[in-house]
Chains A and B, each alone.
Chain A
Amino acid sequence: MNRLAIALLALLAAIVAQAPAHANDSLPPAPYAYTQLADPAQEKVARDLMDTLRCLVCQGESIADSNASLAGDMRNIVRMRIAAGEQPEAIRAWLMQRYGSYVSYKPVMSAQTWPLFAAPVALLALAAFLLRGRFARRKPEDKSA
């Protein structure tokens, strides 16, 4: 039993020793990184916005979900600006002005993204075109059978 525990500890130590390849800062998080706004209505507005902003470090996560310190600093900015009375879409625009549409998860129709909106319609039209004969033909066949 003791041997097993020692072996597990050694394994754990080996894993931990490999970890610091991705260094991180040692400063405490920004004031509003993990602290909610006092006003629940404002906090909800901030939260809704943070859910739709992409973390620049862990690129698959929203800044609301990410533990990266840059995401904490982004939450800090969002909450401070909401608290100062700024509109959420103005904050989104401020970030998009700096990072492009990349930073926002909210879908917008643009020169780059219109195929995403057009493709389902085109595929449905194609399916209807390919299947049009089948629906028309089945009735007479059913009668003869």
Chain B
Amino acid sequence: MSGAADTTAAKKPGLALWLPLGLFGAFFVLVMFGLFRPASRDITSQMIGQPLPVFDLPKIAADRPGLAAASFKDGKPKLLNVFASWCVPCAAESPQLDELARSGVSVQGVAIRDRPVDLDAFLARNGNPYAAIGSDPTSALQLAIGSSGVPESFVIDGKGVIRYQHIGVIGPQDMDTLRQKLAEAAK
């Protein structure tokens, strides 16, 4: 019996012997790769290149009008900023949005699940770079444009087509990319 097993092993020592180790090695590399370079948790919108859906959001801030899809078709690119007063990181991008607004970019806001009182306090505290702010109390527009959190910003070209999505806070390091995308959308 042992003799028979020996002769079989002697015939084919190669593949069968090293295959388990090879498989383990491949699995190990895969696990380490996932461990040190974890996949991004961001969910990118599939609506890039698609026109904005039709919407007409009522006003919520005391001194800014509401926001409608029609206003995005005036030939000029705009930045659509999805934010909320209850969103802590949103305050961190206010200086960057202010800078964009000062340099002539039209910043349009969508306030997600917000109250007028809270929003006015937020704008008084952090500055108000918005030309218009629409109220989205049930995240309907947010879901319609494929946004999954606050803050997120979309570059919309002059025809109302979504051209670029920025997920998360706009930091000083994101300004060059954003300006470039706005310039591309102006063409």
Contact = CB atoms under 8 A, between A and B. Distances in A.
A97 interface: yes
Contacts of B126: none
Nearest to A29: B138
A96 B43 CA distance: 12
Interface stretch (B92-100, B112-120, B153-161, B171-179): B112-120
Nearest to B1: A141
Contact of A100 (B41, B46, B84): B46
Interface residue range, chain B: 20 to 34
B60 to A, nearest CB: 11
B149 interface: yes
Interface string A102-121: 11000000000000000000
Interface string B107-151: 000001111001000000000000000000111101111101100
Contacts of A56: 43, 148-149
Q: Binding site of B, secondary structure by majority: helix, strand, loop or mixed?
A: loop
Contact of A77 (B112, B143, B145): B143
Interface in B1-56: 1, 4, 8, 16, 41, 43-47
Nearest to A74: B143
A24 interface: yes
B11 to A, nearest CB: 10
Contact of A73 (B8, B44, B115, B139): B139
Contacts of A96: 46
Nearest to B44: A100
Contact of B115 (A23, A26, A141, A145): A26
A26 B85 CA distance: 10
Interface of B: 1, 4, 8, 16, 41, 43-47, 84, 86-88, 112-115, 118, 137-140, 142-146, 148-149
Interface of A: 21, 23-27, 30-31, 56-57, 59, 69-70, 73-74, 76-77, 95-100, 102-103, 130, 133, 137, 141, 145
* Top 8 A-B pairs, shortest CB-CB distance: A98-B146, A56-B148, A73-B139, A25-B113, A30-B138, A27-B113, A25-B86, A23-B88
